[in-house]
Structure 1
C-alpha cells in the first residue's frame, strides 16, 4: 500500500536523464516502485523487488522457471549464514536490508558517474541542473507556465528537485558530496530528509492544495474506480475509510496534517524489512516452525522471484553471481 502514495506521471523520455515524477522522489524504506497491494490483493512483484533488489528482480522476471529456481537456490545458500539448513526470520530480514542497501548504493553510483564523470568530490547544483533540465532553456517560456503542459510538468519537477537539493546540502555550499547526493536520490533512507518526503507526499495527494489530506484524497490515492462505471466500493476500501477515521486522523478533525501523514508513511519503530520478512515466512512456512528450509522456499519460488518469460535477454544473465 505504501508505494501507492505516489502517482506516476506519463512523461515521455525524450531527453536523456530527465526524471519522471516517480523517479524524483522516494518513499520511506523504499523497496520497490511496484505497489505493495493491488486493490486488496498482495502484489508479488513487490516481494520480488524487496527480496532481490529491483535491478536483480528484473533479471529474474525474464527467466524460465527452472533457471529461476536454480538461481534462487544459490541465493538461499547465501542467506543461510550459519549453514544450518534453515533460513530464519533474522537471516531473511538481514538479506532484505542487504539487497536494499545494494540497490541504493548501485543507483547512487550510476547517477553519480552520469552527472560527475570526473568523480569530483562535490557535484554543484548548476551542473546537475544543466544535465537534467538544461533542455528547458530551449522551451517556450509560456509553456513552462501553462498548466497541464509538458513544460509546466518539468518546471514543477525542477522546483521540487531544487528544494530537495537544498535539504540534502548539509554544509550549505550548494554542492553535494556523494553521501549528500545519495540522500537527494533516496531521501527515505536518511533521517534528515524525511520531512521533505512527507511534504512531497502531501503535495501529491492534496489535490485541492489546502495543506491537508481529506479522506477522499486519501482513498483516491489508493483506489480509482473505472471511468463511467458506477460500482460499490470494495470491502478493503471501506476498511481504509474506517482506518482513516479511527487511526490515521489522530486529532479527529477529518483531515491528515503533516505529522499524521508522517506517522502513516513512516510509523515510529516500524521495521519494513522485518515486516516483509515476516510476510515471506508466513507465506512459505509449510510446517509452521517459523523458519524456512531450502525446499520450502523453492516450492514457493514464484513468491520469492517469479518468472514471466521463457527466454533469456542477452544482457540479463548475472554470471558474476550465478
Structure 2
C-alpha cells in the first residue's frame, strides 16, 4: 500500500476525487500550507482507485463521509457493527433487507454532497458577508489578516504573495458573473473546485504546479515518483517500480518523457470516470459473499472492517441528524 504524503483524499477526484483542496474547520493562518492541492487524498493513492487496488481509508471516507472524525476508530468491533447496522438501515431505502448497487451509489453521493454543503456553510459563516455575497477583499482580510496588495514589498501580505495570487486566480474562475463577489454557491465552487465542471482546469493547474518542482511546465518521471514516494533512504518498493513503468506506458501518452497539462488532466480526471460508481462496485465486489449483486445487512456487517476501521471517519452524526436522505 502506498503511503499518503503531500496529498491526503483524490476525493478525487474526488472527491475526486473525492479528491481534494479542502479547507480545515478553522480558517488557516497566513503561511499555513492550506492550498497545496485540491485533492485531500494523495494522487498516488487515487491511482489505486482507478486501477483496482483500493486504499482502505478511501473506502471508509467514501462510505462514511470525511467531515466527522474520531468515533469509529475508538469503538470496539461490536460497537462498530451496531452503528454500521443503523447506517445500513438508512441506505436500504425500500426496506427490503438488500442494499442494491443504486442504493449504495446514492448513499456515497449523498455523503459527498453533504460534506461539501456542511463545509461551505461553516466557512461562509466565518466570513464577513455583504448582503448575500462575499467580496475578495473581505476574504483576503479574513484569511491573510490584511487586504494589502501582496505585490508591494512593504505589504504585510508580501510573504504570502504566491498563495494570494493562487487564491485570486481560483476566485476569479469561481466568480461566474465576474462581479468580484462570490455567492454562497460560487464560494462552494471555490472551496471544492473538483466538484464543478468549470473549475476542473484549476484543479489540473494547481496539481501541476505542486508537482512540477523545476517549474518548467511539465511533470517529469522523477517529479511524478518524488511526489508519491519522497523517502529515498529506503529501498525502492515494488509499487514504485510499477509506477515508473506506468508513467512511461500510460501517463506519458506522447512518449516525450514528461506529462503536459492534458496528460495530467487525463491522469487525475479520466474522462467518463464516475468515482461513486467505481467505489460502489468495489464495495459490492469485496462484500457480496453470495454473488447476487446486492448486499444484505449480514454481508455488510461481516465485512464491517471494509466500511469502517482504524482510520475511518465518524459518521455518528448520520445516526442522529434529522435531514432526509
Name the counterpart of 1:225.
231
**Contact 2:5–2:42 (Cα < 8 Å) also in 1:** no
Residues 304, 289 of structure 1: alpha-carbon distance in 2 compared, 3 angstrom cutoff: same
Name the counterpart of 1:179.
185
Alignment pair present for 1:241 and 2:253:
no
Give 3-state SS (helix, strand or coil) of 2:245's partner. Answer: helix
Name the counterpart of 1:148.
none
* 1:85 Cα deviation from its structure 2 partner: 1.6
C-alpha deviations, 1:267-314, integer Å up to 9, x for none?
A: 0001111111111112212222222111111111121022579xxx9x
Residues 69, 22 of structure 1: alpha-carbon distance in 2 compared, 3 angstrom cutoff: farther
Alignment pair present for 1:109 and 2:121:
yes
Name the counterpart of 2:301.
298
Count matched residues: 297
Alignment pair present for 1:170 and 2:176:
yes
C-alpha deviations, 1:127-172, integer Å up to 9, x for none?
A: 01000101697x9958989xxxxx84x4322221111111111111
**Contact 2:212–2:223 (Cα < 8 Å) also in 1:** yes
Give 3-state SS (helix, strand or coil) of 1:120's partner. Answer: coil
Q: Distance in 2 between matches of 1:5 and 1:268?
A: 26
Residues 90, 3 of structure 1: alpha-carbon distance in 2 compared, 3 angstrom cutoff: farther
Q: Distance in 2 between matches of 1:257 and 1:306?
A: 38
Alignment pair present for 1:271 and 2:282:
no
RMSD over aligned CA atoms reads 3.4
Q: When the two structures are superposed, what TM-score results if normalisation uses the length of structure 1?
A: 0.80
Alignment of 1:183-198 (within 5 A): 183-198=189-204
**Contact 1:3–1:35 (Cα < 8 Å) also in 2:** no
**Contact 2:43–2:228 (Cα < 8 Å) also in 1:** no
* 1:317 Cα deviation from its structure 2 partner: 6.4
* 1:42 Cα deviation from its structure 2 partner: 4.1
Alignment pair present for 1:128 and 2:139:
yes
* 1:7 Cα deviation from its structure 2 partner: 4.6
Q: Distance in 2 between matches of 1:171 and 1:38?
A: 33
Q: When the two structures are superposed, what TM-score results if normalisation uses the length of structure 2?
A: 0.80
Task: Name stretches of at least 5 consecutive residues in structure 1 with no aligned partner.
Answer: 146-150
Name the counterpart of 1:215.
221
